[in-house]
């Protein structure tokens, strides 16, 4: 017996179309979601920016640590002496091989980011290291050569002008864990040396004690690198001074 095919018509299930419609976002809901995302982004961006700045500050600290290590390696190869103060062949070139001939080490990642300007260096330089953009300068050892009476006034003038042939002996630094050898300078300054006894004291207007917000990074004679809040590097003792007398003589009063 052959069954005839029925003309069955499938009827829609009640509520299915309504359920599909309910899954779609309305314009108002989309706007609410966008507003929430914008609020979350506004809350997170400052934290991300601060984290980025912290990372860049740590990078500067690592660079200063490398420079401190380079200086110690140089001293070990130079019979215990730091390089002489020179106006032709300065410390970036003297330490060049010891920091791996990588001139990027001389520049902090944050230096010049806002201004769009490379950190200044000497206008007259006869080698790639001395001429490279540079965020840091070295201790000028002024108080050591002056207060220990190793040099006559005429010889001290030679020293400050960069023509005295000898550097400071490493053993002259007694507080090796509490004396600065490298620090951050202002972006527009070309100085290679942080001087306590030039133009009224370069510590007042050349070193940048707030290069990273509340403070700056420094390399210490013992090979470490540290962050000091302003004014910890210069008050109550000036940590750039090598001698005990210099630490109080050149301390800032707040």
Alpha-carbon gap, residue 183 to 203, rounded angstroms: 11
pLDDT of 1 reads 47
Question: Which pLDDT score is estimated for 39?
Answer: 81
Q: In this structure, are residues 243 and 249 in contact, taking their beta carbons and an 8 Å threshold?
A: no
Polymer length in residues for the chain: 254
Q: What is the pLDDT of residue 10?
A: 52
Q: Where are the domains of the chain?
A: 61-249
- Please, are residues 230 and 210 in contact by the beta-carbon 8 Å criterion? yes
pTM of the model: 0.79
Phi, psi of 114 (to 5 degrees): -75, -45
Give the bridge partners for 194, in sequence order: 139
pLDDT of residue 230: 94
pLDDT of 85 reads 94
Quick check: 209 and 231 in contact, CB under 8 A? Answer: yes
H or E segment to which residue 216 belongs: strand 215-220
* Helix locations, the chain, DSSP H: 16-23, 27-76, 91-94, 128-131, 142-147, 153-161, 244-249
Long-range contacts for 227-234 (Cβ within 8 Å, ≥24 apart)? 227/57, 227/61, 233/180, 233/183, 233/207, 233/209, 234/203, 234/209
List average pLDDT for each run of 10 residues in the chain, which is 254 residues long.
49 51 69 80 62 68 96 96 94 97 94 89 86 96 84 91 94 95 95 85 80 94 94 94 92 72
Rg of the chain over all Cα atoms, to the nearest angstrom: 31
Question: What are φ and ψ of residue 16, in 5° steps?
Answer: -65, -45
Q: In this predicted structure, what is the pLDDT of residue 49?
A: 54
């Amino acid at each position: 017996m052959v069954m005839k095919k029925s003309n069955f018509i499938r009827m829609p299930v009640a509520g299915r179309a309504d359920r599909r419609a309910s899954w779609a976002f309305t314009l108002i809901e989309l706007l609410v979601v966008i507003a929430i995302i914008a609020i979350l982004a506004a809350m997170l961006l400052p934290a991300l920016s601060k984290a980025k700045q912290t990372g860049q500050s740590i990078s500067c600290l690592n660079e200063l640590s490398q420079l401190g290590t380079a200086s110690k390696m140089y001293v070990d190869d130079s019979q215990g002496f730091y390089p002489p103060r020179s106006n032709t062949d300065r410390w970036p070139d003297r330490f060049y091989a010891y920091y791996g001939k990588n001139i990027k080490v001389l520049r902090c990642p944050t230096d010049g980011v806002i201004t769009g300007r490379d950190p200044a260096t000497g206008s007259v330089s006869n080698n790639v290291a001395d001429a490279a953009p540079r965020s840091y300068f070295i201790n000028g050892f002024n108080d050591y050569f002056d207060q220990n009476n190793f040099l006559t006034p005429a010889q001290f003038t030679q020293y400050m002008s960069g023509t005295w042939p000898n550097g400071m002996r490493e053993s002259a630094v007694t507080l090796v864990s509490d004396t600065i050898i490298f620090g951050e300078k202002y972006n527009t300054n070309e100085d290679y040396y942080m001087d306590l006894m030039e133009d009224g004291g370069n510590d007042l207007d050349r070193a940048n004690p707030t290069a990273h917000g509340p403070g700056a990074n420094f390399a210490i004679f013992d090979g470490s690198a540290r962050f000091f809040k302003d004014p910890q590097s210069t008050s109550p003792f000036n940590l750039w001074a090598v001698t005990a007398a210099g630490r109080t003589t050149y301390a800032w009063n707040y």
